Amino acid sequence: MQFTSTRGGDTATFSEAVIKGLAGDGGLFVPETMPDISTYSAHWRRLPYTELAYSFFSLFAGDIPDSELRYCVENAYNAFPNPETPATLIEMDDNLHVLELFHGPTLAFKDFALQLLGQLYGRHIRNTGHSINILGATSGDTGSAAIYGMLKQPGAHSFILYPEGRIAELQERQIACTGSDFVHPFAVYGSFDDAQSIVKQIFGDIKFSSAYSLTAVNSINIARILAQCVYYLDTALKLDASNNNPLEFIVPAGNFGNVLAGWMLNRMGIRGLRFCVATNVNAVVSNFFRTGEYCPGKVIPSYAPSMDIQQASNFERWLWWHFNGDSIRVRNVMTTLRRDNKFVLNEIPENNDIIRTTSCDDDGIKTQIERIWCEKGYIVDPHTACAFSAVRKNIRSVVVATAHPAKFPETIASVTGQYPKHPSLDTLKHRIIIKQTMPANVEAVKTAIAEILNEV
């Protein structure tokens, strides 16, 4: 399978796309054609998670020998305490399930993609004999998930940018208390969007990024999106979704990578899947699907910090499919967006019930946490709470639970009186935080990277 840039100026095999991250023309890689996987459904329904993930990936990663692909997938999901069911489906009532994606090493759904990405990078390092270094921006959870995915890969340094003071304390500790000399937390004075924009600019400087063997871990990497497709597929098969028996996934959204992954299954022939894009007050993407206007502004801090994002990178992929692969139209939109910081799509993008939207402010988040605790005795984290706010009675729904509540104990305790705990987080509380703070400025970040890598 070939991958092509959303902007039409680059193509790559799967492994090339994984290592490049961003396409050479600044676009994002997408599969050139989508496989029809509906014919496999009957067989795939019976597979354990790892087998399903392997079978799914083998359709895209034809340039990786089977045995190596299998090794990567197995190692990725063996890092979960429950490798048989890393994605745990909980029945709340007849019409409502919760898909818990927070049982991985860093207690957020991002482990599903980043454990696998770490394995794919590890394979590259083994096969080429050259190490790589990862560079990423995080709104809270990507950073630690990326670090834990890379820790076992020999010689690879991780540079993780995050907005100083804007992520939860335990999220920061997961990034800054690893004790590893290969992990470099950079706390920048700015927002997540500033951090993400610095990372994009550094990758735009090909000379710099190749001199230091930098590679991206943000959800611009296509392997991350594909890894996320698997738990939607697993759930759709288990709950037998079809046109006559539809299923709606309600997905907490920020960079739009998680919803997009589920939505892509529609394009692969899986029937009966609908999606609700659940944002916090940073409602740029959900406003777009309602009005056709995409208008990113300033990030508003919220109780769900991993979704405090206004520039949703993966949106460009959705556009490419929406425009039926017309990369000229994608390029025009991206140019307009850069120039005007907004664009308007004349037709309302999804008027066919496949995507609906919701947004939830901080009061709403607290209300949901309290309500679910009182009604069901179940504790949800603030991100998942945004999704719960959108549950409807008249359709079978799956709330996608993206983070473990123990990552956000204060918000939860303030409404339920319960302090959710997790042993892996408790040990972090006694370690010292080691980080570098710096201005939100490309040159400052480049200088810091160069200093570290020139020393080793």
When binding is defined by CB under 6 A, the residue of 383, 398, 412, 440 that contacts ligand PLP is: 383
Least distance to ligand PLP, CB of residue 424, Å = 16
When binding is defined by CB under 6 A, the residue of 108, 160, 276, 428 that contacts ligand PLP is: 108
Least distance to ligand PLP, CB of residue 278, Å = 9
When binding is defined by CB under 6 A, the residue of 153, 302, 327, 402 that contacts ligand PLP is: 402
- Our finding on whether 306 is near ligand PLP (CB under 6 A) is yes
- Our finding on whether 199 is near ligand PLP (CB under 6 A) is no
- Our finding on whether 230 is near ligand PLP (CB under 6 A) is no
For helices 315-322 and 257-264, the axis angle rounded to 10 degrees is 30
The stretch near ligand PLP (CB under 6 A) out of 23-31, 247-255, 320-328, 351-359 is: 247-255
Toward ligand PLP, which CB reaches closer, 110 or 356?
110
Q: Output b/e per residue, 140-176; b: 16+ Cβ within 10 A.
A: bbbbbbbbbbbeebeebbbbbbbbbebbbebbbbbbb
- Residue 181: which residues within 8 A CB-CB, separation 6 or more? none
Nearest to 110 by CA among 336, 407, 345: 407
- Our finding on whether 257 is near ligand PLP (CB under 6 A) is yes
Q: Is 178 left (phi over 0), alpha (psi -120 to 50) or beta?
A: alpha
Distance CA 180, CA 23 (A): 30
Toward ligand PLP, which CB reaches closer, 176 or 307?
307
- Our finding on whether 296 is near ligand PLP (CB under 6 A) is no
Toward ligand PLP, which CB reaches closer, 40 or 192?
192
List, in sequence order, every residue forming a beta bridge with 11; answer none if it has no partner: 4
- Our finding on whether 316 is near ligand PLP (CB under 6 A) is no
# residues contacting ligand PLP (CB under 6 A): 17
> Catalytic residues, which ones?
110
Toward ligand PLP, which CB reaches closer, 185 or 449?
185
Least distance to ligand PLP, CB of residue 431, Å = 22
- Our finding on whether 256 is near ligand PLP (CB under 6 A) is yes
The stretch near ligand PLP (CB under 6 A) out of 33-41, 148-156, 252-260, 408-416 is: 252-260
- Our finding on whether 219 is near ligand PLP (CB under 6 A) is yes
Please list every residue from 408 through 447 that binds ligand PLP, using CB under 6 A. Answer: none
- Residue 429: which residues within 8 A CB-CB, separation 6 or more? 170, 173
CA 225 to chain centre: 7
When binding is defined by CB under 6 A, the residue of 227, 253, 333, 334 that contacts ligand PLP is: 253
The stretch near ligand PLP (CB under 6 A) out of 86-94, 250-258, 326-334, 435-443 is: 250-258
Least distance to ligand PLP, CB of residue 158, Å = 17
Instruction: Note the residues at the interface with ligand PLP (CB under 6 A).
Output: 108, 110, 140-141, 219, 252-258, 306-307, 383, 402-403
